[in-house]
Structure formats: C-alpha cells, structure tokens
Amino acid sequence: MPANLTPQYYAAEEAYKKATTVEDKIAALQEMLSVIPKHKGTEKLQGDIKRRLSRAREEGQKKSKTAAYNPFHVEKQGAGQVVLAGYPNTGKSSLVATLTRARVKVADFPFTTAVPATGMMPYEDILIQLVDTPPFSAEGAPAGLLNTFKRADLLLVVVDASSDDCLEELEQTLAFLTGKNVIQPPHAGMEEAAAPGEAEAQGHSVPYRLLATKMDLPQGKENLEIIRELKPGLQFVTVSTQSEGELQRLKEMIFADLEIIRVYTKAPGKDPDMETPFVLKKGETVLDLAYNIHRDFPERLKNARLWGSSKFEGQSVAREYMLEDRDIVELNLA
C-alpha cells in the first residue's frame, strides 16, 4: 500500500534532517508522527519514527543530567502544555492561578514572575498544564525562555486590553515572537493564522492564540475595539478572571486547539474505564492507542472493537481506524 505522504510530513522530515540539537530532533519527530497519514502503508514508517523518537528522548535525558541547570526548562505533564507569553502585568499569573489554583505570585508591579511557574488545569476528565512565564520586553528575553515558548503545544500571547499601551505592546510582542521564529508572522486573514494547524507551513512555528485580558476593567472593551479597527485581521480571545463564562470558554478553546482526543479502554467482558482516558492526537488510530498502552501491543494486536464513532456499538474495526474523542476501545491480543 502506498504511503501517500503529505507536504507537511516532508517539511517536518526536512526539519529533522537539519536539526542540530536533541530538542529540535524530538520536535521534528513529533511533528512527523503527528502529520503522517495513519494507515497500513505507513505502519513500518510510524514504528521507525517512534523508535527514533524514543532514542532521541533517551539521549536528551542523558544530556539533561550532565548539562547545566536551566531555570526556564519546564517538563511537560498532563494532556498538553500551554505556555502564556507577554509583557509585564498583562495578567498571565492571575489567569494561571485562577484556572489551576496553583500558588503563583500575583502582584501589580512588573517582573513578579522570575522563572516559569506551572499549574494543572482540570478540563472534564483530564488535566492540562499551564505555564506562567517571566515577562519579556522590547529589549528581548533570555534564550532559555525562548526554548520554553518553542516547546509548547500551544502558546497564549497575552495582552492587557485595559492598558493605554496595549497596542504598542501587542505590536512589539508579535514582532519579537515572529523575529525569533516562535510563531508565524501575522498577516491578513489572521483569523486562521492564529489557530493551530496553520503553523505547519512555517515548519515548527508554535500554534498560538491572541488573548486579551482584564476585560472587566475600564477601557478594556474600548481599547480592544480600537485595536480591531487598526488591525482588522487580528482575532482575539477575550477573558476576565471575574467571568466564569469567559473562563469556561477559554478552557474549551484550549482543549480544541490542542487537537487531542480522549480514548477509553475496556477489557473483554468488563465495563470500560471512564476515569483515566488515554490522550492521543487527532488523526491517531487504534494502532497508536495500542502503542501508547504498551509498545509490544501493536505486534500482539489481533483485533479491536469500538463503541462511539463506529456505525454499530461494539463493531470490529481495523488497526488503522482513526479514533475520535470519547471512543471506547477493546483490544484483543494474541
């Protein structure tokens, strides 16, 4: 069966060939695995990528033990890592504290956050990692902080809509992040550019959203309207820590933008485990699920039954069947 590899796959493969660091190799391999078509014709290639990814991670772990301490490094946890970036006093810390209940330093003076601080945001039956980062400015940011941005699964570019300097700070923020190849350059039609999935054309640019905070404060709505008039292509997600509705919409957006699905498993003859789903990327298959459970399972997999997105409940499905959110899968092994 032909592999029918996509241009996005070849772009990620080229990035892997050009990678000079373990981190860049891991990012490229993850991208290759994410965009490769999932069917029988690519099973061997998927297995090869996973082996290379495993070796690269082992190499990275060995290097990290001997390398100098990096105060900006944040180990990924949960169903996805969402990093907040922005100027001082934009509300990043307050947002992370509100959504995760983490003990993050919150103050009205700048540069309160000196190193990244993390918290786990509950979303239904999974946890998503939020990372509050030290602010940057027009003068720049430490190199280690840039690596934190580039490793994120999703970047929230935060702007204080209530500030008189919000437009200038927005322009400087976007210029800084695009100049450092963290995100795509903004352009006309930003509605799509700001959404995950569009970053593929720029290699390993991080998917991102523009987040306008402090919308409950005076001038927030007025300033945002001015920005929208002057920058009509830009699309913002608005949020206030005082609005439960806006916070819930932000959670839903984060889950959607991470492009992940939850898959539940069941043993033959038993009820499914609906409390601890496996988290996969959209487009992944029964075979990917088997690999995530145990790396020996793909070779031992005889067949699978599925409840959820299949036409019939408990229907037998192929190894390359593409799973959807909240599917329940029963794996039968040899």
What are 244-272's pLDDT values in tens digits? 999 999 999 999 999 999 999 999 989 99
Which residues have CB under 8 Å from 257's CB, separation 6+? 154, 195, 196, 207, 209
Q: How far apart are CA 5 and CA 47, in angstroms?
A: 15
Residue 175: pLDDT over 60: yes
Residue 164 has pLDDT above 70, yes or no: yes
* Mean pLDDT value of segment 139-156: 87
User: Which residue in the block uniquely carries the two structure tokens 């499905």?
Assistant: 317
Mean pLDDT along residues 162-182? 92
The tens digit of pLDDT for each residue in 68-80 reads 667 888 899 999 9
**What is the dotted CATH code of the domain comprising 81-257?**
3.40.50.300
Domain ranges, ordered by start, for the chain: 7-66, 81-257, 260-333
Helix axes 244-257, 92-100, angle to 10 degrees: 90
Q: For residue 66, is pLDDT > 70?
A: no
pLDDT of residue 57: 86
CATH code for the part of the protein at 260-333: 3.10.20.30
Mean pLDDT of the chain, nearest integer: 86
Average pLDDT over residues 211-237: 92
pLDDT value for 1: 53
Give the pLDDT band of residue 202 (cuts 50, 70, 90): very low
Q: Do 105 and 112 meet the contact criterion of CB atoms below 8 Å apart?
A: yes
Q: What is the pLDDT of residues 92-106, one digit of tens each?
A: 999 999 999 876 655
**What's the confidence (pLDDT) of residue 71?**
82
- Summarised one tens digit per residue, pLDDT across range 273-301 is 999 999 999 999 999 999 889 888 888 89
Question: CA 28 to CA 31: how far, in whole Å?
Answer: 5
